[in-house]
Amino acid sequence: MSEPERTISQAELHELQKKFSEIKHGVNNALAVMMALSEMSQRRPDYAEKLATTVLQKAPQIVSSLQEFTTALNEKAGPRPEVTTGG
């Protein structure tokens, strides 16, 4: 059985691009903060705890955002086709 062909409208594509841009911006910001705190913790060990707290807060947020984007993408484009390998 073959899946029906799916198409994405310009508006849906624009919405996905906007979501991707927001996620990319959020990831870049989180990584910049983590890098800055990492450098500061090398000079001032008291920043190590703030770094650990930030990583523990931001990492799950990043993963959640990526999962939400993947879900939205799959809703619009459908799941990726299964890859079969010859054996």
Instruction: Estimate to the nearest angstrom the gap between the alpha carbon of 76 and the chain centroid.
Output: 17
At 80 the pLDDT is: 65
Cβ–Cβ under 8 Å, residues 81 and 3: yes
pTM score of the predicted model: 0.68
Spans of all domains in the chain: 10-77
pLDDT along the chain (87 residues), means of 10: 71 91 91 89 86 89 91 79 62
Residue 82 confidence (pLDDT): 67
